Structure 1
Amino acid sequence: MQKTEISAKQMEATVAMFLIGSSLVKGGSSPAKQDTWICIIIAVFLTIPLMWVHTKILNLYPGRNYYRNILRAMGRPAGTVVCLIFTLYTFHLGALVMRIFSEFIHIAGMTSTPIIAISAAIVAVLVYVLTNRLYVLARISKFMLPFLYITVAITIVLSYQNMDLRNILPILNSKPSDLFQGVLSALAVPYGEILICAPMFGALSREEKIFPTLFKGVLLGFVILFSANLRNFLTLGYSVSVFQFPSYESVSLIQFGDFFTRIEVLIGINLLLAGFFKCCVLLFSACDGLCETLGLRDYEPLVAPSSLLIMTLSGFVVGNTLELFRWMEYMSVYTLPFQVLLPVLVLIVGAARKKFSKPKKQGKNPDTTEEEPPAPRPQES
């Protein structure tokens, strides 16, 4: 499907930019409050088994096509249902992410602009990038990730005068139930969303291994998210839960006299870049899922209609900003079945079918599904 393979470094940067995405804009507190940073660390460790599961699914059959491997592992009827479930989940998540960034642009700087107009502008760029193939997005990711690191590092240094270490004290004073909810929240958004990144690895260079690449990408995203979350809490304290976009509010406090202010404008641009990459990956995953479900050869014809569908859903998925962030509180309950249960089920069924299936006959095309009958043998003279 891909004309050009993606290198490991480019894939790592793309995964990192995807994970940073909306979490860098939204990243605030959790039920664990001052112990949120501990929940983030625990969630990263819990993500390692999920990365292993997705890696095994990608390596079940040659080609590393995630959705195609699901179809082969589960069989065509059940596999089609699972792929369709994943695709619908991706569409819904894409609508939520697009709504978050449209709301961010609307609230932060374009209060007189309708949200639908902002979403339309985002969709136009998404369609342009993805119709030029995924490797274009991967190259841009590798170029932009260092700037995001530099920006976050600068804001941490400049926010030092506004930080108070007492904001994270006392450590581990939260209830066990609150810690558990905080871990689930961090696992669901964003680390469990590596499910959306899995289809991209079909374009990874065949010389590269999947698990190390995915792990490094998650680690790169974790460094920025952890640093930004800790900066927000040290700067804003318990009031971090009051703000809709804590990262933007935290950086807005930076100023030196009357000549160095409004640095949050530059930060807002970087936040939008991260969100753009997340929307791109979500749109690609949705199109790839539809492509395999419908039996098409290429995802490109689906990019424009799928992006319009996501834009339309973003306008109806929630009624207002308050409903949007109230919905985010239930993401850990809503997303975990898609992120954990279904991938584990696919791997178990696929591994079992592959182990107990009959050996393939010579001359059978390795890219065909197990349900396809073997080619007829030529008659001997």
Structure 2
Amino acid sequence: MTLVAFLLLLVIGLPIGLILCVAALVFIYDTNNLILLQSYPLKLFTSLDNFSLLAIPLFILVGELMNGAGITQRLVQLAAAFVGALKGGLAYINLLANMMVASILGSATAQIAMMSQVMVPEMQRAGYDRAFAAGLTAYGGLLGPIIPPSIVFVVYAVLAQVAVRDMLVAGILPGLMLTGLFILVVALLGRKHAYPVGTRQTWPARFAALRNALPMLAIPLVIIGTILGGFGSPTEAAAVGAVLAVLIGLFYTRSLRLRDFPLILIRTGINSALVLFLVAAAGVFSWVLIFGQVPQTAAAWIQSVATTPMAFMLLVLVALLVVGTVIDGIPGLIMVVPILLPIATDVYGIHPLHFGVVVSINLILGLLSPPVGIGLYVAAQVSNVSPLRVFWVTAPFFLAACLALLVLALVPWFSLALL
């Protein structure tokens, strides 16, 4: 009954947070455990009673502030100064600028929308195919939820009850690996296609671009340095980053005005509420699943299919790629972690941070996979091209992401080396 209600509401198109809450209520009535209704509101509240969750609105605030402070253009100029003269220089610029923006925004869809408006017209004017430019920007946006600060990793850390700091650190090498593979794909495609070559800049011009962008780069460095150095928690680091973003926007770039703050805070509040409601709904849904012994039942079935940790991880990769094509990253994470994490850690002995990196990237990749692929649709809509054409033109990047995911799943070192 609960599964039928869940799938029906999903097909109707109800927001996933409401689906989780309603499914929990259906389970309570279906099993006649009405006593659970007394704890239902309390469980919604206690799911958010976690200091680490304050990092989410603060990271979102940092992204909003930097977006209003004119970050994108300066980072694009910095990337252009050093790689613009290469064959396919604008493609490299797109990826490197995306990587630098990812370290600040932490949101794939926001990054794809913003960077598509900046990079796609520029690449088209230089002679690149518009669909390729849109797809490349979308895959660059894939780095947003992986490179710290990452809202997806914060949510996973809360769900898995692991240190947010450790989870953010675990994403550094995977994010760099994915960036490196995408750069390699651009280099290989450049040998096949006649990508245009940009203008080589002088070293004084490069140093000028670096000087202009250094304050922007200081924000992620301060955030990550605060966390890695043990000077503060991720929440406190995010607060420091927000203050630094305000100072840079007001006094350095001068693109931020006091009259912009109400709208920035409203957008931050709305986006934070959406994410935090999902977390609260996940708490209730997980509570119901555990009460109904769903993880134990799933563990018994998975053990009959996957006899080794490697087989289990491969099974997870396939299953979550399918889930990720129809459900966004954070909702998908909220749905699968309560079921799969106990199996991964207790049955197969997989490190929770390693499992978190693989699961998060796996679900995020679904943002760029048909039939839903919201990241593809965002890039295609902003760029005014067909989503399906965007996918096929940039299929090599999808294969590279799948390869990176397979390596990360089978080699825990990349997730755990910096801990």
TM-score range, shorter chain: under 0.3
TM-score for both structures, normalised by structure 1: 0.26
Structure number with the bigger relative contact order (C-alpha 8 A, sep ≥ 6) is 1
TM-score for both structures, normalised by structure 2: 0.24
Higher helix proportion: 2
